[in-house]
């Protein structure tokens, strides 16, 4: 009865009152077959929560499965600084570096096995991608669709080109529809939002719904405590509409949340929606019925803009709005990922002329710009393809200045309310991989280089190298941050307007008060800081004691000040 009462209203929103009973009948056996887990966490989030984002093969060592190499790296270097690992799609795939999945249930043998995944999970929580929107055109499921097999005949969304699709929101410039020929010779156009090899799944089909709920629970069974819903905003299609953020899509997120609340209540849903801020945070729902965490997509481009302009005014005004609907939710704060730096999240925050600054700077610094198609046939920038390291610095920067800029950006990211997530190439101080872009023809390859483990270790251990300065600086900050109760993802905060060149935020809890200040400019800034408490005041990062009065911040320097260090 509990399952029926919770799920049926959501299924009625998605499928209507007439089909909802059949939908419930189809999915109940899948849910009931999953052994229910007890709630163990007192709260979803804590100050100790930090996430590493990585591909399974970013680090390679000859003769060893890359997932085993990643596990060794994590055990030796990351256990004190990261609580979880977001393992980007590690399944067999045909394109898009894993996001065109051919088999949802199998570990890519080039990476390792489920045992290697389990080995990683022994030291860290595991965040897994559920690539719900689409499947590879070379997958067994799609082949069975083309063959017209029972249970697969409605897998894809068939339609025809026409005016009914003119308002569809496009995140790419590739055609929305792709033509395929079925086994019986029938030629059909099917929906392919992201590429011709990524066939959108038809959630009007109860066969698809049943299959994907099984996939979701399969990942939980294999230890995923965080589930990332990839490209979730596009899940439900309704010709004649924008086909993004539709009510059925939100109801589907609520359905997944409700199912997990019933069978695995410690599992948290993370939504990935590279869209303007107000649209993005709509996936929190009412604070208890949709995602527990959303990617903070406005953070990367707006923070970058602040460093380029050496002015935090727009960033500070936006950061002051980062309120949550409940203490059961949190932002996932990131600056770089396997994808590019989104441009759409700046809509409504910066004028287009200012966003153009980021585009010009990206091209000048060796990056590329990916575009999306608009209903009127025009194209606009969708994301910047460049490492965050190269995005922050002019080409003329030496390694030490480059590291200083990057660590200053981390100091702001880590001080914001939310859970920090660090992409492995940022942690390792990686630069643009332009050779990879030439090899693949894909702009996103610029930030997806596979590295030799021994080479990386040698640079990390060599003082003065970029990798050494960035890695140890970032690790040190994260280790310190995780001990501070005032950095709890839901702890209160206040953004202070002290100087355009400085970002300042106060975080506090019952036992601690922290003032975090960061100079984003290339010149010294002197401030009379509103220090928290009575003193003496310690900079948590350097361990230095700071006296009340005027404090001068050198270029790209930062302080985390408190009178009660932990």
Residues annotated as catalytic are 230
Where b means 16+ CB within 10 Å and e means fewer, 14-24 reads bbeeeebeebb
Burial class (CB in 10 A: 0-12, 13-18, 19+), 160: exposed
Block residue for tokens 């003329």? 396
* Cα–Cα distance for residue pair 236/280, rounded to 1 Å: 16
* Cα–Cα distance for residue pair 554/400, rounded to 1 Å: 14
* Cα–Cα distance for residue pair 287/330, rounded to 1 Å: 10
- Could you tell me the two tokens for 442? 């894909």
The C-alpha angle with vertex 119 and arms to 114 and 123, in degrees rounded to 5, equals 140
* Cα–Cα distance for residue pair 528/295, rounded to 1 Å: 34
Where b means 16+ CB within 10 Å and e means fewer, 223-246 reads ebbbbbbbbbbbbbbebeeebbbb
* Cα–Cα distance for residue pair 481/407, rounded to 1 Å: 14
The C-alpha angle with vertex 243 and arms to 234 and 299, in degrees rounded to 5, equals 50
Q: Give the CA distances from residue 367 to residues 362, 490, 493, in Å, rounded to whole numbers and listed in that order.
A: 5, 35, 35
- Could you tell me the two tokens for 477? 């900050």
Burial class (CB in 10 A: 0-12, 13-18, 19+), 135: buried
Q: Give the CA distances from residue 132 to residues 66, 196, 198, in Å, rounded to whole numbers and listed in that order.
A: 25, 16, 11
* Cα–Cα distance for residue pair 11/8, rounded to 1 Å: 5
DSSP state letters, 176-198: SEEEEE-TTS-EEEEE-SSBTTE
3-state class (DSSP) for residue 314: helix
Burial class (CB in 10 A: 0-12, 13-18, 19+), 550: exposed
3-state class (DSSP) for residue 270: strand
* Cα–Cα distance for residue pair 543/556, rounded to 1 Å: 18
């Amino acid at each position: 009865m509990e399952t029926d009462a919770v799920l049926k209203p959501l299924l009625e929103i998605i499928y209507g009152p007439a089909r909802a009973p059949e939908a419930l009948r189809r999915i109940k056996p899948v849910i009931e077959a999953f052994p229910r887990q007890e709630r163990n966490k007192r709260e979803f989030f804590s100050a100790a929560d930090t996430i590493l984002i990585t591909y399974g093969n970013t680090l390679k060592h000859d003769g060893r499965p890359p997932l085993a190499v990643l596990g060794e790296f994590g055990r030796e270097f990351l256990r004190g600084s990261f609580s979880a690992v977001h393992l980007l799609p590690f399944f067999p795939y045909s394109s898009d570096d894993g996001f065109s999945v051919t088999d949802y249930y199998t570990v890519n043998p080039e990476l390792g096995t489920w045992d290697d995944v389990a080995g990683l999970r022994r030291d860290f929580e595991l965040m897994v991608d559920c690539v719900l929107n689409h499947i590879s055109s070379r997958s067994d499921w799609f082949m069975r669709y083309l063959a017209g097999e029972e249970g697969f005949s409605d897998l894809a969304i068939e339609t025809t080109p026409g005016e009914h699709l003119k308002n569809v929101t496009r995140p790419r410039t590739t055609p929305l529809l792709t033509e395929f020929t079925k086994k019986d010779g029938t030629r059909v156009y099917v929906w392919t939002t992201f590429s011709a090899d990524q066939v959108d799944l038809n959630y009007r089909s109860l066969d698809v719904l049943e299959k994907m709920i099984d996939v979701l629970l399969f990942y939980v069974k294999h230890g995923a405590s965080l589930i990332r819903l990839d490209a979730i905003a596009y899940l439900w299609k309704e010709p004649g509409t924008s086909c993004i953020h539709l009510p059925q899509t939100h109801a589907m997120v609520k359905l997944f949340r409700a199912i997990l609340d019933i069978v695995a209540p410690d599992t948290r849903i993370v939504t990935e929606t590279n869209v303007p801020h107000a649209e993005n945070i709509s996936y929190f729902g009412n604070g208890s019925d949709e995602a527990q965490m959303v990617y903070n997509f406005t953070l990367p481009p707006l923070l970058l803009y602040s460093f380029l302009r050496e002015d935090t005014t727009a960033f500070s005004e936006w950061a002051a709005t980062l309120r949550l609907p409940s203490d059961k939710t949190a932002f996932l704060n990131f600056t770089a990922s396997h994808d590019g730096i989104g441009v759409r999240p700046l809509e409504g925050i910066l004028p287009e002329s200012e966003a153009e600054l980021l585009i010009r700077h990206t091209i000048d610094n060796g990056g590329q710009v990916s575009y999306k198609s608009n209903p009127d046939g025009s194209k606009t920038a969708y994301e910047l393809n460049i490492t965050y390291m190269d995005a922050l610095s002019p080409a003329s920067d030496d390694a030490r200045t480059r590291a200083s800029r990057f660590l200053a950006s981390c100091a702001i990211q880590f001080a914001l309310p939310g859970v920090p997530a660090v992409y492995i190439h940022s942690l390792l101080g990686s630069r643009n991989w332009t050779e990879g872009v030439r090899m693949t023809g894909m702009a996103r390859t610029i930030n997806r280089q596979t590295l030799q483990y021994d080479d990386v270790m040698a640079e990390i251990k060599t003082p003065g190298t970029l990798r050494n300065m960035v890695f140890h600086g970032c690790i040190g900050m994260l280790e310190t941050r995780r001990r501070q109760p005032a950095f709890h993802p839901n702890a209160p905060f206040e953004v202070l307007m002290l100087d355009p060149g400085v970002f300042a935020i106060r975080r506090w809890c019952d036992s601690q008060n922290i003032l975090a200040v960061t100079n984003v400019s290339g010149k010294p800034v002197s401030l009379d800081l509103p220090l928290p408490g009575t003193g003496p005041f310690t900079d948590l990062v350097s361990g230095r004691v700071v006296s009340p009065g005027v404090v001068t911040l050198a270029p790209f320097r930062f302080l985390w000040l408190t009178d009660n260090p932990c």
